[in-house]
Chain A
Amino acid sequence: MLMQELVDLLNCRVILGMEFMEGLEVTACFAADLMSDVLAFAPPGSLLITGLASIQSAHTADVADLAGILYVSGKSPAEPVIALVRSQRIPLLTTELSMFEACGRLYASGLAPGVRP
């Protein structure tokens, strides 16, 4: 699924990285608030779906080579997090949808969990 399609599907607001989204494809997603779970099980290149807006969500995306972060339930990270992600050159999105509904819509639209590393 193209990132732009995902933005439309979940009524996302693009916090950062609109310029990287042109033609960017999302092939897998991983949803968790537990960053240790993300580090253990998220395939590289997947989109992180989380309600955790701390600086650790941004470091997790960097360390685990993730493609972007989607914050659910209207969460939006503070400025230091946004500054960090800006240097990583990945998109940062937020949706008003809950974790369950965001994941449900993406799964129903054909997005897969991806292969565990």
Chain B
Amino acid sequence: MNESRWSTGEPRVPWEGAEILYGESIRIVGDDFEHGGEAAAKIKAILKQFGLDPAVIRRLSIANFEAEMNVIMYAQEAEMQLQVLPDAVRVILSDRGQGIPDIGQALQEGYSTATPRMRQRGFGAGLGLPNIRRNTDEFEIISTPGVGTTLRYTIHLQG
């Protein structure tokens, strides 16, 4: 199957060639429920050191946690890359996994393909991608079924 793309929000900073003040990459392992949330927690601790607005840190952390749990539930592995830019913070999350056959459907609140085991952890109710969308200013999904998914999301620091 072919790659499909979906995006929302007005891109302000180019994905290539932007000035990166700080970068960090954290590996996430699929099916590792016991550590599900650690990547989001680590990135939150880093962001606090930059003295960013707590509301921005909270929004990005919520997006990160949902995205991290999606990897644990649906993918084999992923790299979560944080980039702190002069006027934005953003995350690029590339996974190796089953991909998303229908992104439009996956973005509908309540649409879920989760198993009972996922739901026992308090996730898998079809709110993950909508929660990321709700908390970010730019959000892009690029997915190829059978290969994997890349999420890119950004929060603007001013205006």
Residues in A lying within 8 Å of B, measured CB to CB: 32-40, 44, 50, 52, 54-60, 62-65, 80, 117
Q: How far is the CB of B66 from chain A (nearest CB, A)?
A: 7
Asked if A40 meets B58 with Cβ closer than 8 Å, knowing A35-B122, A59-B36, A62-B44, the reply is no
A117-B131 Cα distance, complex, nearest whole Å: 12
CB neighbours of A34 from chain B (8 A): 122-123, 125, 127
CB neighbours of A117 from chain B (8 A): 58
B34 close to A (CB within 8 Å): yes
B65 close to A (CB within 8 Å): yes
On whether the beta carbons of B41 and A62 are closer than 8 Å, the reply is yes
On whether the beta carbons of A36 and B123 are closer than 8 Å, the reply is yes
CB within 8 Å: A-B pair count: 81
Chain A residue with Cβ nearest B120: A54
- Please pick, from A44, A59, A65, the residue contacting B65 in the complex, using a CB distance under 8 A: A59
The count of chain B contact residues (Cβ–Cβ below 8 Å) is 27
B100 close to A (CB within 8 Å): no
CB neighbours of A33 from chain B (8 A): 122
Central interface residue in B35, B37, B120, B123, by most chain A CB within 10 Å: B37
A12-B130 Cα distance, complex, nearest whole Å: 35
On whether the beta carbons of B34 and A36 are closer than 8 Å, the reply is no
- Please pick, from A52, A63, A65, A80, the residue contacting B122 in the complex, using a CB distance under 8 A: A52
On whether the beta carbons of B37 and A64 are closer than 8 Å, the reply is no
A40-B44 Cα distance, complex, nearest whole Å: 17
Asked if A35 meets B121 with Cβ closer than 8 Å, knowing A59-B37, A63-B37, the reply is yes
B28 close to A (CB within 8 Å): no
On whether the beta carbons of A63 and B128 are closer than 8 Å, the reply is no
B89 close to A (CB within 8 Å): no
